[in-house]
Amino acid sequence: MSGTEFERIARYFAPLADEAALGLSDDAALWTPPYGKTLVLTVDQMVEGVHFLPDDPPGCVARKLLRRNLSDLAAMGGEPDGYLLTTALRVDTPEAWLAEFAEGLARDQKRYRIELFGGDSTSTPGPLMASVTMIGCVAPGAAWRRSGARAGDAVFVTGTIGDAALGLEAARGKLDDSSGHFRERRLLPEPRIGLPLAGLVHAAIDVSDGLVQDLGHICRNSGVGAVIEAGLVPASAAARAAGESWLEARLTGGDDYELILATPPDAEAALRKACGLVPVTKIGHFSGDSDEVVVLDRAGRRMAFTRTGWRHF
Ligand SMILES: Nc1ncnc2c1ncn2[C@@H]1O[C@H](COP(=O)(O)OP(=O)(O)OP(=O)(O)O)[C@@H](O)[C@H]1O
Ligand SMILES: Cc1ncc(C[n+]2csc(CCOP(=O)(O)O)c2C)c(N)n1
Ligand SMILES: [Mg+2]
Ligand SMILES: [Mg+2]
Ligand SMILES: [Mg+2]
């Protein structure tokens, strides 16, 4: 790494900042939120060896970091405005790593129309680490909560589930990925920002830890149970080709950054229309009969899982 901490900030991060960041030259940013809006604030980290592999392309690490946070904003029905970034790099981290990381940020800033508000740079003797605090807005009272699901609501999920988890298995050499589809999905999730679903959603969460575990958060917060059919959980063509032996990994592996939506039973047609080109699939329903997540296999038997999703420890 060449130059000083301040030269690196000026070179790689200042070009990503707009007025609010004051040229990344002051102690903090000054941002005036749109009048009358409620702020939505969320933060997630990426730690080398825990959230990404040492050889992952730095641009993808940056973009996944933004997208993991955008996904949390999407799960609240919010729209993003900007973000704060922290990095902890090693003294032997190649400068090219930082340059590619910043290029990745620039790419997704354009795509999602967000700006860098500021951040913090430190060194670490351990694994690389970066975090993003995403800041966005929602109309007052309009945010979706994990607590709004009602018995009788449908359980919908966007996109396909399990590809990123299979990408990790492929990276570990446990699964063929000749098309590169699983790797692509592991490296670059598609946060479901901006779906015009006002009035159609009772509760939502994004799938980061695993479908079964994250659905459980809606159930616990809403005081309802859920029954879903594993056979209805949307699978990509590559996941279908990988076979049924990967089903549990797909349902519990996480890193999907798709949305689980609790919607009123009569909202299906409107939901599909509003989602447009974003695939949305009904996988079950919420129920007042229990407070747990029941997953049925193709024969209608209840599935048991060794773990329902990711736990750090
Ligand atoms: N260290 C912490 N300090 C304060 N609040 C925390 C901390 N860790 C988590 N939380 C809060 O706990 C709740 C759940 O956090 P969690 O990180 O599990 O959600 P998530 O970001 O949706 O999931 P994931 O981290 O798997 O993407 C959130 O409201 C979050 O703000
Ligand atoms: C190298 C490597 N090992 C494992 C995983 C899988 N993984 C790690 S943390 C997490 C849950 C979300 O994170 P958090 O709860 O910390 O926000 C998942 C699914 C990965 N992506 N890369
Ligand atoms: Mg989190
Ligand atoms: Mg989340
Ligand atoms: Mg998250």
How confident is the model over 254-282, as pLDDT tens digits?
999 999 999 999 999 999 999 999 999 99
Residue 112 belongs to a domain = yes
Give tens-digit pLDDT for 146-188. 999 999 999 999 999 999 999 999 999 999 999 999 999 999 9
Provide the percentage of residues in the chain whose pLDDT is more than 90.
98
- Are 129 and 10 found together in one domain? yes
Kindly indicate the confidence band of residue 217, based on its pLDDT and cuts at 50, 70 and 90: very high
Phi, psi of 78 (to 5 degrees): -90, 165
**159 and 215 share one domain:** yes
Could you tell me how far CA 87 lies from the centroid of its own chain?
19
Q: Is 255 in the pocket of ligand 2 (CB under 6 A)?
A: yes
Chain mean pLDDT for the chain: 97
Question: Is the domain of 88 the same as that of 200?
Answer: no
* In a shared domain, residues 176 and 78: no
Q: Per the structure, how many domains does the chain have? A: 2
Contact of 228 with 293, CB cutoff 8 Å: yes
Read off the CATH number of the domain in which 43 is found: 3.30.1330.10
Q: Which pLDDT score is estimated for 53?
A: 98
Does residue 313 sit within a domain? no
> Residue 243 is part of a domain; what is its CATH number?
3.90.650.10
pTM: 0.98
Using an 8 Å Cβ cutoff, are 82 and 115 in contact?
A: yes
User: Do 132 and 168 fall within a single domain?
Assistant: no
**What pLDDT is stored for residue 229 in this prediction?**
98
- Find the domain containing 105 and state its range: 5-138
Residue 310 included in any domain: no
289 is in an annotated binding site: no
Binding site membership of 72 for ligand 1 (Cβ less than 6 Å): yes
**What's the Cα-to-Cα distance from 228 to each of 104, 139, 156, 161, 209, rounded to whole Å?**
37, 31, 10, 14, 17
What pLDDT was estimated at residue 89?
A: 97
Whether residue 232 sits in one domain with residue 169: yes
Q: Which tokens is 52 given?
A: 């990404």
Calculate mean pLDDT across residues 34-46. 98
Q: Which atom of ligand 1 is nearest to the CA of 205?
A: 22
Reported confidence tier of residue 108, pLDDT bands at 50, 70, 90:
very high
Q: Is the CB of 213 under 6 A from ligand 1?
A: no
pLDDT value at 191 more than 90: yes
Q: Are residues 26 and 132 in the same domain?
A: yes
Q: Could you tell me which of 103, 131, 108 has the C-alpha nearest to residue 15?
A: 103
Task: Choose the residue to mutate in 40, 42, 68 for probing ligand 1, maximizing ligand atoms within 8 Å of C-beta.
Answer: 42
Averaged pLDDT for residues 15-27: 94
Residues 126 and 100 grouped into a single domain: yes
Indicate if the pLDDT at residue 2 is higher than 90. no
Report whether pLDDT(49) > 90: yes
Residue 308 pLDDT > 90, yes or no? Answer: yes
- For 98, phi then psi, to 5°, come to -65, -40
Shared domain check, 115 and 198? no
Confidence label for 3 from pLDDT (cuts 50, 70 and 90)? confident
Confidence band (pLDDT; 50, 70, 90) for 208? very high
Residue 45 has φ and ψ, to the nearest 5°, of -110, 160
Same structural domain for residues 43 and 91?
yes
